[in-house]
Amino acid sequence: MDTLGGAEFAPEITYLNTANCGLLPRRTIAAVRALAELNGTGRGQGSGSFETVDAARASFARLTGVPAERVAVGSAVAVHVGLVSASLPTGAEVLFPEGDFSSVINPFAVRGDLKLRYAPLEDLAEAVRPGTALVAFSSVQSADGRTADLAAVRAAAAAHGARTLVDTTQSAGWLAVDPGAYDYTVTGGFKFLVCPRGTSFLTVREEVQDSLVPLHAGWISGGDIWASTYGPVERLADSARRFDEPVSFLSYHGAAESLALMEEIGTDAVHAHNTALAARFREGLTALGHEPVPGNSPIVSVPGLTHRHPDLERAEVAVSLRAGYLRAAFHLYNTTADVDRALDVLAG
């Protein structure tokens, strides 16, 4: 199986670690380098282009099927989650899957005045109850690649009047998740969207926009940013842009290129490619006598093999260690040869 990225990527090792960080396309590297060089000459206007930031916003919106007006940009998932956390009244109950990623949980935990409850991922929908204010969960679990029953959780939350917050960091780019079906979604761009680190996206349904206070609103959150540079901002943007963080232009100039590439390839093609490689890896692991966590996501985690990580490193096969698992993750720059290379190392 060939790569989907073609000549856009240049891995020098067997890179199976996208769940940790995606590889940057050549066009992205060129865009970041061009802006950095321009910023060193004094010839640019400021440090980057707001139009390019908006191009990245629009590209993410098209990829995920949500209007661009519903997308805020930022630097990190935890910052977006912090806005949602701050919106809850004292004593509100928030339900999470057990062992979900810390950035989904900790902004709520540090408040100290919320009721936090946990349930196994497979029982999350059944755990929603009257009085649950918010269900916060990842669409795909970082540690082991398990996928949440999105429809069941959404239906349970609606039945009990709970709001929903979904972290799509480990699914955006290869799995279609409709942000418009949830009150809030958060997405780190530096994994399967192959953006530079420092890019993240928050979607907010129009019906719940007033539930969030734009705590870090600066001049770029203004309805007219160039009329909002001094003193209190008289009018915030009517759209989710009111929740924008001041962005890293270098990251977003790169993100605009990465997201354009992801649009060119298409989520369906990436899904088929990534999951086929992961299935081949799961089958190979089973043939070697190892049982990976069941599933059909590109993230494949297997217990009992963490001691083989040094062998893989020496063979220049990049994977992760997470929560007691050896974790591999397959993306558009991987091939069947990469899968077989990792299996050969594990076979000794």
Q: Which of 242, 264, 286 is the last residue of a domain?
A: 264
Residue 52 covered by a domain: yes
Q: What is the DSSP secondary structure assignment for residue 184, as one 8-state letter?
A: E
Give yes or no: residues 20 and 141 share one domain. Answer: no
Overall average pLDDT of the 334-342 stretch: 98
Give yes or no: residues 118 and 38 share one domain. Answer: yes
Give yes or no: residues 306 and 169 share one domain. Answer: no
What's the confidence (pLDDT) of residue 121? 98
Give yes or no: residues 138 and 148 share one domain. Answer: yes
What's the confidence (pLDDT) of residue 144? 97
Residue 307 covered by a domain: yes
Residue 165 covered by a domain: yes
Mind listing the pLDDT tens digit for each residue in 269-322? 999 999 999 999 999 999 999 999 999 999 999 999 999 999 999 999 999 999
Mind listing the pLDDT tens digit for each residue in 302-311? 999 999 999 9
Per the confidence metrics, is the pTM higher than 0.75? yes
Give yes or no: residues 285 and 260 share one domain. Answer: no
The DSSP bridge pattern shows strands 163-167 and 184-188 to be: parallel
Residue 171 covered by a domain: yes
Non-local (6+) Cβ contacts of 155 within 8 A are 125
Residue 1 covered by a domain: no
Give yes or no: residues 232 and 291 share one domain. Answer: no
Give yes or no: residues 217 and 281 share one domain. Answer: no
Give yes or no: residues 126 and 235 share one domain. Answer: yes
Give yes or no: residues 203 and 298 share one domain. Answer: no
Distance CA 302, CA 299 (A): 10
Residue 217 lies in domain: 32-264
Q: Which of 235, 264, 293 is the last residue of a domain?
A: 264
Give yes or no: residues 273 and 339 share one domain. Answer: yes
Mind listing the pLDDT tens digit for each residue in 81-125? 999 999 999 999 999 999 999 999 999 999 999 999 999 999 999
Residue 334 covered by a domain: yes
What's the confidence (pLDDT) of residue 6? 82
Residue 218 covered by a domain: yes
Provide the number of structural domains found in the chain: 2
Indicate whether 1 pLDDT > 70. no
Return the closest-CA partner of residue 87 out of 69, 104, 67, 111: 111
With a pLDDT cut of 70, the percent of the chain lying above it is 100
CATH number at residue 179: 3.40.640.10
pLDDT-based confidence at residue 44 (cuts at 50, 70, 90) = confident
pLDDT-based confidence at residue 4 (cuts at 50, 70, 90) = confident
CATH number at residue 298: 3.90.1150.10
Buried b (16+ CB within 10 A) or exposed e, 121-160: beebbebbeeebbbbbbbbbbbbbbbbbebeebbebbeee
Residue written as token pair 């418009």: 180
Give yes or no: residues 101 and 157 share one domain. Answer: yes
Question: Is 54 buried (19+), middle (13-18) or exposed (0-12) by CB count in 10 A?
Answer: middle
What's the confidence (pLDDT) of residue 3? 82
Write down the mean pLDDT value for the chain.
Answer: 96
Residue 193 covered by a domain: yes
Mind listing the pLDDT tens digit for each residue in 128-176? 999 999 999 999 999 999 999 999 999 999 999 999 999 999 999 999 9
Give yes or no: residues 322 and 252 share one domain. Answer: no
Q: Which of 214, 247, 264 is the last residue of a domain?
A: 264
In sign, the C-alpha dihedral spanning 282, 285, 291, 292 is negative
